[in-house]
Amino acid sequence: MLKHLWFAGAKRPATPLQFHVAIGGEIAAVHRMDLHLILTSEGKLFVKPIPPFLLDLAFCNINLHLQCPNSCACQGTPRKVALGFLYTYASPISSEADFHIANDKRLLPSRKDGTPIHWTDWKISYLRAHRNYGSLFRDNIAWVTASTVYVALVLTAMQVGLATEQLQGNTTFQRASYGFTVFAILGAYLRVWPGGVVGGFHSC
């Protein structure tokens, strides 16, 4: 079943809550995992609230073995399911506006003393741990690959055309080939260079 889900829609993060509300959508808390992040045709988004124990560091260290490396034999399905569920909140609650909407809809648990968690705690402790440039690269790898293949095919066709007698003396075709070649080189450079700079700052 999983390998056929791409027919239903593109693989991409969920829409931030504030954007969903801005376009007139409705957010409904539902305690059913099978309805989590399901969007109806009427614009209602079902979201399963986060259970309090999943944000309890002591519980997670004991039961989900968060301190162990991924290669450890103790890592199993419960840990993957729990972290996967938490990851689904990284995009819907990615700003302070999203955070306040989530609190209003009772999607986030309270602290042990009954007070709500703060935006700073969510941003530093939970959000930062699940958003990285690796996931950003994976989300954009499809269009990067498609554009690279397209450019390679066009450059190959132009190279073949320049090798023919009919097009060797065609000034217009030669100028077009030159311009597209420069565009392809600059395009590849601009795709790689910002990622390298951002990645360098991120690792510091």
Q: In what order do the strands lie in the sheet with 44-47?
A: 26-29, 44-47, 38-39
Paired strand residues for 153: none
Helix axes 171-203, 133-162, angle to 10 degrees: 160
SS3 content of the chain, % helix, strand, coil (to 5): 60, 5, 35
DSSP letter (8 states) at residue 2: G
pLDDT tens sequence across 149-186: 877 888 888 787 777 877 777 888 888 888 878 877 77
Q: Which helix (H) or strand (E) holds 86?
A: helix 77-87
pTM to 2 decimals? 0.56
pLDDT tens sequence across 30-88: 999 899 999 998 999 999 999 888 888 788 778 777 666 665 666 667 778 888 888 88
112-141 burial: b if 16+ Cβ within 10 Å, else e: eeeeebebeebbeebbeeebeeeeeeeeee
135 has a pLDDT exceeding 90: no
